[in-house]
Every structure is written in C-alpha cells, then in structure tokens.
C-alpha cells in the first residue's frame, strides 16, 4: 500500500491510500478519486515527504521512543469536522430516500411537482449537477465519508 497526498482543483489537500502507483493512476484517470471536502474529481498528487518506518518502539508514541505529541488545534478541528460529516451521513441516510444514480432525474421530478416533495440522496455526474443548477433545482453536495466499521 502507498499513501499519497492529493490536491483537488480548489486546493483542498487530503490523503489517499492505493495498492500502488499504477492503481492511483488508473483510478484518477477514470475520475474515481474525489475530494472529501468539495467532491471535485479534478485531482493531482500534492508534494509530500516520505515516511520511513523505524520499527516498533517500546514506548507508545513516536518511533524514537519519545511520547506522542499532543494533538494540534488543526488536528482536533479536523477530527471534529470528520465526526460532524459522519453524523450528517447518518442523519441523511435515516431521514432520506436513497435514489442511487437516478438522483438528477428524481430531483427534477420533485422540483417540477411531478411527485410529492421528499428528501432524497444519491449520486450524479458533474455535468448533471451543473444542469440541475441551471434549471434552478436546489440541492447540496456532501462529502460522503466511507464507513470504517468493516
């Protein structure tokens, strides 16, 4: 496995794990990598410093045996943000209907009054999202965090 720092077109930097460099290239080339903040699929590798493992130490913390550094304010805020996104996902899933890749079609039907108004969620392409905006359909894009309970 390899860890890459990635950056989207809006300069959000995030990490991604891949089987190898070729797996990253294949997924990025097929637009299967998206920014967890804004959902952009225009992704490139960001500069990163390599991590060199030194093996396990007797003391929990850093590789040199020193105690782990306390979490930074930015790290704590990032953790709070990620927790809020997990809670948002739970709320959306429990209170909305999943329509899968039919999201744009179903959002239009609701917008034009063809079906009863209800909360829905699903996925759509960038092009369909742009078309929905052009038609005045109100919707929000949410960075969808994967579940880590497996």
Q: pLDDT grade, residue 58 (50/70/90)?
A: very low
- What pLDDT score was predicted for residue 68? 54
Q: How many domains does the chain have?
A: 2
Task: Determine which of 37-41, 77-81, 121-125 has the lowest per-residue pLDDT on average.
Answer: 77-81
The count of C-alpha atoms lying within 13 angstroms of the C-alpha of 97, restricted to the half-sphere facing its C-beta, is: 11
Residue 28 lies in a domain: yes
Most confident of the ranges 59-63, 71-75, 96-100: 96-100
Q: Report the percent of the chain where pLDDT is more than 70.
A: 80
Q: pLDDT grade, residue 61 (50/70/90)?
A: very low
- What pLDDT score was predicted for residue 91? 92
Structural domain of residue 34, as residue ranges? 2-45
H or E, element range at 24: helix 21-29
Q: Report the percent of the chain where pLDDT is more than 90.
A: 35
Residue 74 lies in a domain: no
| Helix locations, 39-118, DSSP H | 73-95, 103-111
- What pLDDT score was predicted for residue 85? 85
- What pLDDT score was predicted for residue 39? 83
CA distance linking residue 57 with residue 64, whole number of Å: 7
Q: Whole-model pTM?
A: 0.50
Residue 25 lies in a domain: yes
Residue 69 lies in a domain: no
Residue 61 lies in a domain: no
């Amino acid at each position: 496995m390899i860890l890459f720092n990635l950056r989207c077109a809006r300069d959000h930097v995030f990490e991604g794990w891949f089987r190898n460099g070729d797996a990253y290239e294949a997924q990025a080339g097929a637009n299967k990598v998206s920014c967890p903040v804004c959902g952009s699929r225009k992704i490139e590798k960001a500069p990163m410093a390599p991590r060199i493992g030194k093996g396990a130490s007797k003391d929990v913390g850093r590789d040199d045996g020193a105690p782990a550094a306390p979490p930074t304010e930015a790290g704590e805020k990032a953790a709070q943000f990620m927790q809020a996104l997990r809670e948002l996902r739970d709320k959306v899933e429990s209170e909305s209907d999943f329509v899968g890749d039919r999201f744009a079609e179903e959002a239009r039907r609701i917008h034009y009054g063809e079906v009863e108004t209800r909360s829905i969620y699903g996925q759509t392409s960038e092009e369909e999202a742009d078309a929905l905006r052009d038609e005045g359909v109100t919707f929000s894009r949410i960075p969808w965090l994967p579940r880590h309970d497996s």
